[in-house]
Structure 1
Amino acid sequence: MTIDLDGYRSLGEAFAAHVVARPDRTALTVAHGPDEEQRLTYRELARRVDRRASALAGRLAAGARVVIALPTGTEFAELYLACLRAGLVAVPAPVPGGSATATERVAAIATDCAPGLVVTTGQDRAAVTAQLAGHGLDALPVEAVGDAGSATGPVPADRRPDRDTVAVLQYSSGSTGSPKGVVLTHGAVLDNLAALARHDRLGPDDRFGGWLPLHHDMGLFAQLTVGLLIGAPVVLMPPAQFVRRPVEWFRLLSRHRITVTAAPNFAYDLCLRLVRDDQLDGLDLSALRYAWNGSEPIHGPTMTAFTERFARIGLPPHAVAPAYGMAECTIYVSTKLAGEPPTVRQVDRARLESAGEPALHPVDAGGKPMVGVGRPGPFTARIVDPRTRRELPAGRIGEIWLRGPGIGRGYWGRPEATSATFAARLADGGDGDWLRTGDLGALLDGELFITGRLKELLIVHGRNVAPQDVEQEARAAHHALGGQLGAAFGVAAPDERIVLVHEVDPRTPPADLPGVASAVTRRLTVSFGVPVRNVVLVRRGTVRRTTSGKIKRMAMRERFLAGNLTALHAELEPALRDELPAGA
């Protein structure tokens, strides 16, 4: 049974309907381990939400922003839903947790959105307060979650939001630039999640679960919010558990008979590498309908290997479903349906990499495999030449433009960026405003194929080269790079040169590093038909990622050009060395 979300005026109203309909059903389980789980029924969760909403409404004006810098837990859900209930704007942020980068990001978000309150953990409160003071925000209240409000009494009627009220500022992950806050109204979130529920036939009989951080759009909307809005149980585990022991994700899915989970492509690859066969005994993934694979480029061989290997513990053959979405349209654009095999098309490499008129040209064999991410169901999609703003025919690669349910109002406090991204017009005037995604792709037989990010595309000797392809080939070139992170980007010296910064397995002897670099150079040059002679090998932990696991290639490019990378071994062309600061 699919739940209809279209008739509700707000997210809080949709949640409240399930409190009435199924009060004693478990709404939220937070699993810190098999023997340490906290459960709240819909009634219990609603009671906590109401107390927090009443307290917040008594001290903050309607529309005030509340930065939620909390780990995965019931407190995050309580505060998030309380903001939605009290006409406040929830602003999910990373958990500081001793990380200077995360603490700085919380401060940057607060500087951008001028909140009325920041809520974090008791142990992180002092660090966040000090970081905010460094940004001139000494007067901004920072409270531990236990002090963030618990009062009795109803929320005033004039504070109840409607579909036009801003619900969430969802800060983008910042893989290609500084993160920006996407303004999402109650109506936008309801419309987008309603479209997702209808398309994927989601309902209260499903069980959602996973490890994704709740300050990331996939974790917030495709795990927590959609589950609670359709009356389903939601089971969450801290992301750190997955990173330390990926098999814990499988144990969670098996123990709770989860039907819907989600993760970026890197997580499926991590499971293939780090989950041992002896850890699989007794696990059962047969309940899974969807294991959405999205948020970053989907690697077809990884998806196939994951499905084949874990079939032995009941993983259905087509449960791993390619998906596409982004914060600017809440979360959902397209997915493959449960039970449908993924669409993998072999395409001509020369046509794919043409800098003139790149296209997906299917071939019978010997081409590059491309994975489809489904039809953009409720959205109208156009593939547009980003230079001329003219629509391109089927098969041609261009920027993906969208119109449909769940698109945000724009970026908080950035009218120029909002106009450029959310109010784009086709060259012929067309039929209104479009969302420019910044993603490159093509439509084949009505299905969407993603080929890369517009800002990250490398154009070398008249060929388009996707950075993720360079990184993937490098890992295949030498075992010392297997399972490590890399970032490929372009530098003009004076013409475009490809640079690869890649982490190395810590067990690699220093004497072997020149051979590693040479193996990578040879393979990349042969694979792409262009010289790739600039390889920088670095320690594990050097390559930066966003909160969702995306490689921050532009940030790595900036660090490289500033001479701020400590290399274990580097091979650079003389022209490129001249671009670096003296002594770098």
Structure 2
Amino acid sequence: MDAAASHGTTVHQYMEYFVRQDPDALCCSLRVKGAWADYSRLEFWDHVCRYATLFLDLEHQSVILFAKKLDIHLLTAYIGAMKAGHLPAQVSFPSAKVNETEYRKKIDHIREITRFGAVFTEAEENHLQKYLGSELVFTPACEPAEGRALPAAAANPENALIQFSSGSTGLQKGVILTHEAVVEHMQSYASSLRVGKGDAIATWLPLYHDMGLIACYLMPLMTGIPFYQLDPFDWIMQPDLLLQLIEERRPTICYLPNFTYQVLANKGKVRDLSSVRLWINCSEPARAKSHQMFAQRFPSVRRDALTVCYALAENTFAATQTLPWEGNSTKVHPTRNVLSCGKPIPGVEVRIFDAMENGDGEMGLRSPFLYHRFLDGTRPLRDGFCLTGDLGFIGEDGEVYITGRKKDIIIVHGKNIYPQDVEYVASEAPGAYSGRTVCFGIWDDEIGSEELYVIVERESTANPTAIKIAVQKAVMEEVGTVPKRVEVVEHMTLVKTSSGKISRSRNKELYQGKGFQLL
């Protein structure tokens, strides 16, 4: 079937196709303020059209910054912006506890690179206002001008949206994705996963995370399957909510960052999770131990359903994927003790550049759904490949293995140390807050080498000294190097990027500038 002919050529046209097919079918279910609300495809689409009309008077292809708590208005206004011919760009909404200096720096940087002229945000109790300048502000309380209506044939612009790269080693870059790229990616990836009637996605991930935006939000809208969305803040406070959702609503696909498997294994109740045919571990280095902990805690989870995906904003989302029917769901390399990320999905070509002695090199990707350009107008490629900054190798089986980040390698006394290995074992230490650790190297002139520093957020009232001792021991056992310092801070101290990842560069800068209250 010619999907472009039957479904359209844009993200919103794909969604509209499924609205026409069955307007009363469930589109999504959202848990907001402690209560679930279901929305049919038609109800969702009516909201989309309202917001598209609201945004009509903006200059064509304007950048609209979305910074709002989860609700139906955030989700539908985002699509409405695209339908009206604009570029939505999603960032986190500032909570009352946000570090104001860091958030202002983030917004100022995004303003500089996007030149956004409008913002969609909360109508009340809005902490965002203090960070805005002269931008036009839209809220759910705004009404379209009287008599305005969408043209019979809505514009079909080339560019669809802006994603922000992780920025774990520096400030974020804005990546422009075209409608064509998002559509082609969806077709390739959904086919790889065998997405079809009867599937549904469960998620707690925010839209400013590319996994939350592309895989858990746009893909279900564009394939006609429902999704169940938890408020990220609710999940952080009550991780078991996700498991309860799965037991009660029976979704079939669930995307999780690696640390989430451990959080759920430690804090979740044993429930019936047998409906999930694909657990997809993505966005940070996947660990076999995390899969093992999860499967041991929840007997109803099928081992072959625990899979791994390698994805990045520059490729729209997925580049590779392990799959149960290919027998590589949780496949560990026989000599490197690294989990396979699977083979490239259809259309993606992977090449290793500048290989080192151990065979690791920088991952390069080429595909029909590579980003259109960065916001500064550049599109740096090497031999037609996007250099990802990720290090890894391709096994004899043709599968991709990721080992680290090129810019993140810490060289201590001549030994290469991958930060994610240190951060993973530090997060497992008793009293450490899972997924909230960072490490980096600081040059020491006296010894002529970098030294390893680790910062760990603590759980509740855990003893800082005990955490430090446990982290020192765990890191030594994992990488064979003792950290120069292990520091403990309160939860929510470490700074994240706009895509929700811990920023190594910024936290290093704050530590060196004595910007943390150490315990």
- TM-score above 0.5: yes
Cα separation, partners in 2 of 1:338 and 1:146, compared to 1, 3 Å: farther
Which residue does the alignment assign to 1:269?
262
1:424 has 2:382 as partner? yes
Cα separation, partners in 2 of 1:234 and 1:148, compared to 1, 3 Å: farther
Which residue does the alignment assign to 1:539?
490
Q: 1:493 aligns with which of 441, 444, 468?
A: 444
Any idea what SS the aligned residue of 1:471 has?
helix
1:451 has 2:403 as partner? yes
Any idea what SS the aligned residue of 2:303 has?
coil
Aligned length: 509
Displaced runs of 4 or more, over 6 A: none
Alignment of 1:21-60 (within 5 A): 21-32=21-32, 36-57=35-56, 59-60=57-58
Any unmatched runs of 5+ in structure 1?
Answer: 347-361, 386-390, 426-432, 569-584
Alignment of 1:355-434 (within 5 A): 362-363=334-335, 369-378=337-346, 379-385=348-354, 396-412=359-375, 414-415=376-377, 418-419=378-379, 422-425=380-383, 433-434=384-385
**Which one has the largest radius of gyration?**
1
Coordinate RMSD, CA, aligned? 2.6
Which residue does the alignment assign to 1:144?
139
The offset of 1:402, in angstroms, is 0.2
CA distance in 1, matches of 2:398, 2:195: 23
Any idea what SS the aligned residue of 1:369 has?
coil
Any idea what SS the aligned residue of 1:47 has?
helix
- The aligned amino acid for 2:69 is P
Does the 8 A contact of 1:487 with 1:551 survive in 2? Answer: yes
The offset of 1:542, in angstroms, is 2.5
CA distance in 1, matches of 2:398, 2:146: 52
CA distance in 2, matches of 1:265, 1:272: 12
Does the 8 A contact of 2:263 with 2:434 survive in 1? Answer: yes
Alignment of 1:39-438 (within 5 A): 39-57=38-56, 59-98=57-96, 99=98, 100=100, 101-102=102-103, 105-125=106-126, 127-132=127-132, 137=133, 139-147=134-142, 149=144, 154-156=149-151, 159-162=154-157, 165-275=158-268, 279-280=269-270, 283-311=271-299, 314-338=300-324, 340-346=327-333, 362-363=334-335, 369-378=337-346, 379-385=348-354, 396-412=359-375, 414-415=376-377, 418-419=378-379, 422-425=380-383, 433-438=384-389
CA distance in 2, matches of 1:43, 1:529: 58
Higher mean displacement: 500-509 or 446-455? 500-509
CA distance in 2, matches of 1:516, 1:12: 49
Cα separation, partners in 2 of 1:284 and 1:519, compared to 1, 3 Å: closer
Higher mean displacement: 210-219 or 551-560? 551-560
Cα separation, partners in 2 of 1:520 and 1:115, compared to 1, 3 Å: closer
Any idea what SS the aligned residue of 1:191 has?
helix
- The aligned amino acid for 2:117 is G
Identity of aligned residues (%): 27
- The aligned amino acid for 1:110 is R
Does the 8 A contact of 2:332 with 2:339 survive in 1? Answer: yes
CA distance in 1, matches of 2:128, 2:187: 36
The offset of 1:338, in angstroms, is 3.9
Does the 8 A contact of 1:484 with 1:502 survive in 2? Answer: no
CA distance in 2, matches of 1:37, 1:517: 41
Cα separation, partners in 2 of 1:27 and 1:465, compared to 1, 3 Å: same
- The aligned amino acid for 1:470 is V
Any idea what SS the aligned residue of 2:55 has?
helix
1:550 has 2:501 as partner? yes
Does the 8 A contact of 1:381 with 1:400 survive in 2? Answer: yes
- The aligned amino acid for 2:187 is A
Any idea what SS the aligned residue of 1:251 has?
helix
- The aligned amino acid for 1:382 is R
CA distance in 2, matches of 1:232, 1:509: 46
Any unmatched runs of 5+ in structure 2?
Answer: none
Higher mean displacement: 298-307 or 139-148? 139-148
Cα separation, partners in 2 of 1:124 and 1:441, compared to 1, 3 Å: farther
How far does the alpha carbon of each residue in 1:124-177 deviate from its partner, in whole angstroms, 9 at most, with x for none?
Answer: 54x423212xxxx3x211232221647666423575115xx1110112232111
Which residue does the alignment assign to 1:580?
none
Cα separation, partners in 2 of 1:301 and 1:150, compared to 1, 3 Å: farther
Higher mean displacement: 481-490 or 445-454? 481-490
Cα separation, partners in 2 of 1:198 and 1:151, compared to 1, 3 Å: farther
How far does the alpha carbon of each residue in 1:473-502 deviate from its partner, in whole angstroms, 9 at most, with x for none?
Answer: 4455x5344747321111111222111222
CA distance in 2, matches of 1:6, 1:398: 41
Q: TM-score if structure 2 supplies the norm length?
A: 0.91
Any idea what SS the aligned residue of 1:507 has?
coil
- The aligned amino acid for 1:479 is P
- The aligned amino acid for 1:342 is S
The offset of 1:384, in angstroms, is 0.8
Any idea what SS the aligned residue of 1:37 has?
strand
How far does the alpha carbon of each residue in 1:494-551 deviate from its partner, in whole angstroms, 9 at most, with x for none?
Answer: 22211122234443456xx2x6545544553454334533222333332333465532
The offset of 1:189, in angstroms, is 0.6
Does the 8 A contact of 2:282 with 2:310 survive in 1? Answer: yes
Any idea what SS the aligned residue of 1:167 has?
strand
Higher mean displacement: 43-52 or 297-306? 43-52
Any idea what SS the aligned residue of 2:304 has?
coil
Q: TM-score if structure 1 supplies the norm length?
A: 0.81
- The aligned amino acid for 2:285 is P
- The aligned amino acid for 1:450 is I
